[in-house]
Amino acid sequence: MINTGNKIVIIGAGPAGLSLSASLMIAGVDHIILEKIDKPGGQTGYINNSLDDLIIGNINNGKKLTKKFKEFVTKHRLPVLYNCNVMSIDLINKSVIYENKNANTEIKFNILVVASGSRLKIDNSFNGLGYDDHIYHRISRNIDDFKGKTSSVIGNGDNAAIAALKLSEISDRVFLINRSDKWKARKDLIARINKTNNIETIINHSLKSLHGRDRLEEIRVSNDKVDKIIKCDKLVFKIGYLPNTEFLSGHIDLTENGYMICDENFRSSDCSIYGIGDVLSSSFKRISVAIGHGTQLASILIRDHF
């Protein structure tokens, strides 16, 4: 099936894509959004901490924000197609091929905007050792598993720090393990961690092995000179994100990790493809930044093309 009706195709109904769409709607610019899952918001639904730095006021958690996104889409009649998994793009024919309900559809574009966001980076190297039930990448849905336990968090960014602080409220003891000697996490989060009695930080150490008989009992970390054995009941990986840009590979310039390389106008190495939000190599992963990208790109597209 081929759809030939849209000048602008937006991939992703997260904060960046929705912001762009809202501005284009006001300007009367024809466009459509392809969203992989069955609701808007992208990764925001997985945020389990309070969002108190948004200008719209305090939001209790990501699920509340996702609900607001749904209401916004409905109220402003944004043209979102859900459950559309983008498989590939064709730059010669200027089209996107996506899967929906087990059928492939091809949609034409003049301008393609990639706002597909990012996903958790998963470390599978310790899977299959008999400890899978004790290894986590998200904690919000299984928080009771950590009650009274000794938990270890691997990572050095905001998400690792937030997870350690959250676990300190329910776990007996928490180790936050950073393979570097520097923190990527915000200074205020590290300051809170340093003041939390049951959190111990370990820097310049990498996870090497897991041990235990019928369950996870301890982990071994090392700085290549000294090994440390740490008692551990539960292990949490918070090691960053990967951009959802696989369909762009071989078509435009990407970083080694798959992030889009764009200019100050969000334009990629192909003049018909733009990127906004978490897919950009230079982007801070903040909801407010993604929203700003969408609004800014709308102004650029309207100025240059319509």
Going from N- to C-terminal start, the domains of the chain cover 2-120+241-305, 132-237
Burial level of 86, CB count in 10 A (0-12/13-18/19+)? buried
Mean pLDDT, consecutive 10-residue stretches, the chain (306 aa), reads 69 96 95 95 69 57 80 94 96 95 93 94 76 86 90 94 95 96 94 97 95 93 91 93 94 95 96 96 80 96 92
Query: What local confidence, expressed as pLDDT, does residue 45 receive?
Result: 67
Which tokens is 84 given? 């559309």
Q: What is the dihedral of CA 275, 72, 43, 52, to 10 degrees?
A: 110
Between the CA of residue 229 and those of 119, 175, 222, 258, what are the distances in Å? 31, 12, 9, 35
| Homologous superfamily in CATH for domain 132-237 | FAD/NAD(P)-binding domain (3.50.50.60)
Instruction: Specify the pTM.
Output: 0.80
Query: CA-to-CA distance for 163 and 145, rounded, in angstroms?
Result: 14
Task: Collect all residues with Cβ–Cβ distance below 8 Å to 23 and sequence separation of at least 6.
Answer: 294, 295, 298, 299, 302
Edge-first strand order for the sheet with 206-211 is 206-211, 218-222, 227-231
Contact 151, 171 (CB under 8 A): yes
Query: What local confidence, expressed as pLDDT, does residue 71 receive?
Result: 92
132-237 matches 2-120+241-305 in CATH topology: yes
Query: CA-to-CA distance for 11 and 8, rounded, in angstroms?
Result: 10
Query: CA-to-CA distance for 42 and 37, rounded, in angstroms?
Result: 8
What class, spelled out in words, does domain 2-120+241-305 have in CATH?
Answer: alpha beta
Query: CA-to-CA distance for 71 and 24, rounded, in angstroms?
Result: 18
